[in-house]
């Protein structure tokens, strides 16, 4: 996988433009329906959406299409949060190596490290799968 279109991505919406203000109720509802199932990058109200890049279109025949559209639109933000979580988990694991070891807490510390290490490996596997590197 060579990457992705940079975020933020947003779910499409009908903009209030000189043209759309002239539309009737039925035409506006139809356009809103189509916009809501599309995901865009570079969506700017200032240019009336002309510079937007279509990322995805959700299947309107699925009951979950609205939720799918929101989930896809949140993907770049979720990736940033995932990367932050991965860095925090690595730091926690490294920090545990510097905690003074006392006989009573050794097994608890080792169990904690093992738990963090497992979670870290699962997170790395999920990231590799999401990025098509699996």
**How big is the CA angle at 47 (ends 41 and 49), to the nearest 5 degrees?**
40
Q: 9-18, 47-56, 59-68: which has the minimum mean pLDDT?
A: 59-68
Return left, alpha or beta for 62; rule: phi > 0 is left, psi -120 to 50 is alpha, else beta: beta
Tens of pLDDT, residue by residue over 63-78, are 777 777 777 777 777 7
> Where are the domains positioned within the chain?
9-73, 76-130
Predicted TM-score (pTM) of the model is 0.55
How much of the chain, in percent, has pLDDT values that exceed 90?
7
């Amino acid at each position: 996988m060579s990457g992705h279109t940079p975020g933020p991505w947003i779910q499409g919406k009908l903009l209030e433009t000189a043209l759309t203000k002239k539309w009737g109720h039925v035409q506006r509802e139809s356009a809103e329906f189509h916009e809501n199932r599309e995901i865009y990058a570079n969506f700017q109200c200032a240019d009336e959406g002309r510079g937007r890049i279509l990322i995805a279109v959700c299947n309107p025949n699925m009951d979950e299409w609205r939720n799918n559209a929101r989930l896809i639109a949140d993907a770049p933000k979720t990736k940033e949060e995932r990367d932050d979580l991965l860095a925090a988990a690595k730091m926690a694991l490294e920090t545990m190596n510097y905690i003074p070891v006392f006989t009573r807490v050794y097994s608890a510390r080792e169990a904690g490290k093992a738990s963090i290490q497992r979670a870290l490996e699962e997170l790395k596997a999920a990231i590799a799968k999401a990025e098509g590197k699996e």
